[in-house]
Amino acid sequence: MRKIDRRKFVREGLAGVIAVSAGMLLPGFQGVGSETVDQVLLGETNMQVSRLALGCGTNSWARKSVFTRAGLNQFLKVARHAHERGVTFIDTADLYGTHSFVRSLFEEIPRDNFQLMTKIWTENNDWNTVAPVDQTLERFKKELGTDYFDIVLLHCMTNGQWITEKEAFRDQLSEAKLRKQVGKVGVSCHNIDALRVAATDPWTDIILARINPAQAKMDGTPEEIMDILKTAKDNGKGIIGMKIYGAGDLTKEELREKSLKFACQSKNIHAMTIGMEKTVYVDDTVERMMRLTKRNSG
């Protein structure tokens, strides 16, 4: 398997968070408003989630991220506020270092109020030692304070051979589904071939895909990716968009509007995850999302 370029991964994340911190404070922010995010079905999976997920992985690597650097109190402030605005979908991962933060949230707001998605890193490196999936899930349960997971993904697939290369992970996650420890399984894709395979793979319930209209931090052109996502949707997959703001490259007013409109009005994305490390980012995203969604449905 081609190893992921760790330095590139961190560099792109850092560029993104700097851009978000600067760009999202520009004029044109939506006010607090009264909108709340609606619930949607993830394809033909029969799983319902909030249309918007609270992304916990901005600028993440080696179990560190924007939220871990900001601290638990800031995370809880944002997560509480997001929940008040209807965001019940939590997008976390072992990589992000936010499992314990999410556990603290569940101590305030009961776990059953949320849909929880986490991800397993499948390679050995300086911060992770690969273990059998059942051992990893037992660790996750303790870290997150839960005895079940709505969605578990294989994190960051980077080539079209992941089906065979990750066969042991796939088989063990299938067993966890049978034990009802895991609701749905799937992959987050960082490569167009990995995405193409996921779109037709019977094992894959959920796909996390990079998509925006500017081809920022993406795996192909918007047209190429949308064609693949249409195939995935037609095959009943639940599709969650990420990199909606291009990891921070698309945070100016007109770019935010264009990018969110592109995602909201797409026929091939059911939900999306966005990193929102301040309450003002939550308000802006929720107001825009629901305005654009209602306009599209009307």
pLDDT tens-place string over residues 123-169: 999 999 999 999 999 999 999 999 999 999 999 999 999 999 999 99
CA distance 72 to 4: 29
CA distance 101 to 37: 22
**What pLDDT, on the 0 to 100 scale, is given for residue 28?**
60
Position 120 pLDDT exceeds 90: yes
**Residues for the chain: how many in total?**
298
CA distance 264 to 260: 6
CA distance 85 to 79: 10
Whole-angstrom distance between the N-terminal and C-terminal Cα of the chain?
46
CA distance 200 to 159: 15
In this structure, of 8-22, 94-108, 165-179, the range with the lowest mean pLDDT score is 8-22
Q: Where are the alpha helices (DSSP H) in the chain?
A: 6-23, 66-70, 72-84, 99-108, 133-144, 162-165, 167-178, 192-200, 222-234, 253-264, 279-297
Tokens (6 digits) for 203? 């094992």
Tokens (6 digits) for 207? 């796909």
Which region, left, alpha or beta, applies to residue 146 given φ > 0 means left and ψ of -120 to 50 means alpha?
A: beta
Is 197 or 13 the better-scoring residue by pLDDT?
197
The amino acid at residue 11 is R
CA distance 42 to 79: 22
At residue 174, φ and ψ (nearest 5 deg) are -60, -40
How confident is the prediction for the chain on average, in pLDDT? 90
Radius of gyration of the chain (CA): 18
What CATH number does the domain located at 41-295 have? 3.20.20.100
Per the DSSP assignment, residues forming a β-bridge with 272 are 52, 241
Instruction: Please state, for a pLDDT cut of 90, what percent of the chain lies above it.
Output: 80
Dihedral over Cα of 267, 268, 273, 275: its sign: negative
pLDDT digits (tens, 9 = 90+) for 9-60: 444 444 443 334 333 444 465 556 778 999 999 999 999 999 999 999 988 8
**Residue from 145, 8, 32 nearest 90 by CA:** 145
Position 298 pLDDT exceeds 80: no
